[in-house]
């Protein structure tokens, strides 16, 4: 439970990173949300055997990490958490797709291995883009940007509450689990049978905590609207950011840049 608590609460570091003052942080959240959407749509729209065309898309996460002064190791560890799930999705592809898709000299690589690698690369790209968006924007700002882009307010508010109070639920669960361990002796009371009462106790505690939070919000005049830390302003920098990156993603999607570079190099050698 302690390791799970640490993994969940470590995501709070994203909120601290989002409080930076770089030029990328100061951009309007709507521009960054739209660029991330175009990026993800461009990546997932490739053919299942596409692998080399995905490589140039790593330019965007690299630039965001550098310009946003974000710790690369932290985000690499978070992206690594999804790799087992991506491998689980594509691990059976080599068993069912054995037709050779790529040849490297005398060696032939079956299409199943290529599609499995493509799934992993796409998972890395899309998850890293989403995490970097939170790291340079903050989840509350993302929700407000979605609302200004036309997403229903009820959905964005619920999404924001889900993000904020998952930490509350984790803390309550960790506190209850720690109390159960301290009250046990010699391993007694730590079996599966004790989890029923633990879950029920956790439900009651979170219900009472949510009621207190709701009363506190109402007493402070909450009307369903969260105020932004920075006033929204979509100006020339945001338009240039959106247009530049979106154009690059479309070009990378429509043209196989590694193949074009390889043709130029091999043509020049000849």
Band the pLDDT of 147: cuts 50, 70, 90. Answer: confident
In a domain? residue 234: yes
In a domain? residue 265: no
Which pLDDT value is given to residue 55?
Answer: 92
Which pLDDT value is given to residue 1?
Answer: 47
- Model pLDDT for residues 148-186, shown as the tens digit of each residue: 888 888 888 888 888 877 777 777 777 777 777 776 655
Which pLDDT value is given to residue 188?
Answer: 61
E strand intervals along the chain? 100-104, 107-110
Domain count, the chain: 2
- Model pLDDT for residues 14-33, shown as the tens digit of each residue: 878 888 888 898 899 999 99
Same domain, 93 and 216: no
Same domain, 203 and 245: no
In a domain? residue 267: no
pTM given for the model: 0.80
- Which positions ≥6 away from 49 have C-beta within 8 Å? 101, 111, 114, 115, 118
Choice among 57-71, 73-87, 145-159, 200-214 with the minimum mean pLDDT: 200-214
Other Cβ atoms closer than 10 A to 192: 6
Same domain, 140 and 253: yes
239-246: average pLDDT: 94
- Model pLDDT for residues 83-134, shown as the tens digit of each residue: 888 888 878 777 776 776 666 666 667 777 888 888 899 999 999 999 999 9
In a domain? residue 157: yes
In a domain? residue 269: no
Same domain, 165 and 100: no
Same domain, 78 and 134: yes
């Amino acid at each position: 439970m302690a390791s799970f608590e640490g993994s969940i609460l470590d995501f709070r570091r994203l909120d601290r990173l989002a409080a930076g003052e770089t030029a990328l942080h100061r951009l309007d959240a709507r521009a960054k949300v739209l660029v991330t959407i175009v990026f993800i749509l461009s990546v997932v729209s490739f053919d299942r055997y596409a692998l080399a065309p995905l490589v140039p898309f790593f330019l965007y996460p690299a630039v965001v990490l550098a310009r946003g002064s974000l710790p690369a190791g932290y985000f690499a560890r978070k992206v690594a958490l999804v790799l087992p799930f991506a491998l689980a999705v594509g691990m059976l592809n080599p068993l069912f797709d054995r037709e050779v898709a790529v040849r490297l000299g005398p060696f032939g690589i079956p299409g199943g291995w290529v599609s499995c690698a493509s799934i992993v690369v796409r998972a890395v790209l899309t998850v890293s883009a989403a995490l970097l968006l939170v790291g340079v924007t903050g989840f509350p700002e993302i929700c407000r940007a979605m609302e200004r882009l036309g997403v229903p307010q009820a959905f964005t508010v619920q999404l924001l509450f889900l993000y904020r109070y998952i930490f509350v639920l984790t803390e309550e669960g960790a506190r209850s689990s720690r109390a159960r361990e301290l009250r046990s002796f010699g391993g007694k009371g730590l079996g599966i049978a004790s989890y029923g009462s633990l879950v029920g106790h956790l439900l009651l505690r979170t219900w009472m905590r949510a009621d207190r939070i709701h009363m506190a919000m109402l007493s402070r005049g909450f009307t369903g609207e969260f105020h932004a830390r920075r006033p929204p302003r979509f100006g020339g920098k945001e338009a240039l950011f959106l247009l530049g990156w979106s154009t690059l993603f479309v070009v990378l999607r429509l043209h196989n840049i590694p193949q074009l570079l390889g043709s130029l190099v091999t043509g020049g050698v000849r």
